[in-house]
């Protein structure tokens, strides 16, 4: 089976990308540090490496230099969220295969990897991938994912779709309110920090509009005042980033079952 290596200090991103590419038929290896990623790269020799640029201790550029020292032609796709022009130029000088900027969709990343897979593998083995699909019942529950970071939003949508739900994404608060007004979702997954209309205000307006469905808040902040405001609006749970995906799924399942009860 063809191997993809994902090196990203955000465990949730690793798990989401692993779920997406495993569904496409690849063996996916993950590492949450540059050092661990290099160990896996040396041992497993992946077909493609997806590498986060900004990581503590050993950043993506340092990892890329080490990869180039071992294999000057190894395909590496950089996730360059928050990268400066200088960093991007440095990565391209190291012959990075592709550079995915923050804000681009999951489709762009998948297409970048697929382009590499369509090239002649170094092993000479032809590559085939399973077609992605949506499992589950004929009438799956709808989950609205509200997150301004498109890659994370797309990953969560695909992750939930692959677990049998019908997930849709909203890029900001107004987009989410418009979608909810047209068709109320069964559950809302809400990032607390959004540009313009923040997550607390989105939740407040949802409640004012009469939406009484379950809401699960996701946040990377420990601001007690903001969290108190969020809890006052009756979310079912507040999850801290990086999110434990299995715990998130368990909570979603429990919340939806309780809603039916």
Q: Which residues pair with 29 in a beta bridge?
A: 5
Task: Give 6-47 pLDDT, tens digit per residue.
Answer: 999 988 889 989 988 998 889 999 999 999 999 999 999 999
**Could you give the residue range(s) of every CATH 3.40.50.2300 domain in the chain?**
3-118, 142-260
Contact in structure between 50 and 17 (CB atoms under 8 Å)? yes
Helix (H/G/I), strand (E/B), else coil: 198? coil
**139 vs 249 pLDDT, higher one:** 249
> What would the mean pLDDT of 195-221 be, rounded to a whole number?
92
Contact in structure between 142 and 52 (CB atoms under 8 Å)? no
Contact in structure between 71 and 47 (CB atoms under 8 Å)? no
Asked if omega into 242 is within 30° of 0 (cis), the reply is yes
Lowest mean pLDDT among 15-19, 125-129, 252-256: 125-129
Query: Is the dihedral angle over the CA atoms 17, 20, 24, 30 positive or is it negative?
Result: positive
Q: Which CATH class is domain 3-118?
A: alpha beta
Task: Give 72-116 pLDDT, tens digit per residue.
Answer: 889 999 998 777 788 888 888 888 999 887 667 788 888 889 988
User: Distance between CA 163 and CA 149 in Å, rounded?
Assistant: 22
Cα separation values, 224 from 70, 163, 190, 242, Å: 47, 33, 17, 18
CATH architecture of 142-260: 3-Layer(aba) Sandwich (3.40)
Cα separation values, 250 from 5, 137, 161, 190, 227, Å: 27, 18, 15, 17, 22
As given in the structure block, the two tokens for residue 239 are 């999850």
As given in the structure block, the two tokens for residue 154 are 């797309």
């Amino acid at each position: 089976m063809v191997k993809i290596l994902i090196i990203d200090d955000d465990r949730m991103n690793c798990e989401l990308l692993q779920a997406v590419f495993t569904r496409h038929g690849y063996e996916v290896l993950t590492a949450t540090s540059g050092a661990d990623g290099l160990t896996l790269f040396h041992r497993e020799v992946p077909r493609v490496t997806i590498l986060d640029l900004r990581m503590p201790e050993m950043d993506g550029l340092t990892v890329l230099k080490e990869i180039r020292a071992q294999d000057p032609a190894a395909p590496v796709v950089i996730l360059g969220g928050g990268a400066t022009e200088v960093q991007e130029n440095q990565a391209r000088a190291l012959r990075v295969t592709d550079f995915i900027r923050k804000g681009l969709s999951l489709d762009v990343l998948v297409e970048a990897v697929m382009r590499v897979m369509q090239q002649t593998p170094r092993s000479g083995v032809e590559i085939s991938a399973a077609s992605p699909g949506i499992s589950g019942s004929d009438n799956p529950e709808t989950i609205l994912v509200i997150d301004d970071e498109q890659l994370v939003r797309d990953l969560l949508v695909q992750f939930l779709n692959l677990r049998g739900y019908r997930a849709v994404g909203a890029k900001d608060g107004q987009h989410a309110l418009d979608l909810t007004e047209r068709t109320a979702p069964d559950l809302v997954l809400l990032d607390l920090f959004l540009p313009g209309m923040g997550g607390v205000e989105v939740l407040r307006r949802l409640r004012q509009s009469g939406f009484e469905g379950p809401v699960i808040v996701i946040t990377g902040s420990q601001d007690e005042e903001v969290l108190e405001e969020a809890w006052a609006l009756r979310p079912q749970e507040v999850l801290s980033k990086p999110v434990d995906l299995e715990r998130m799924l368990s909570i979603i399942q429990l919340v939806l079952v309780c809603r039916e009860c």
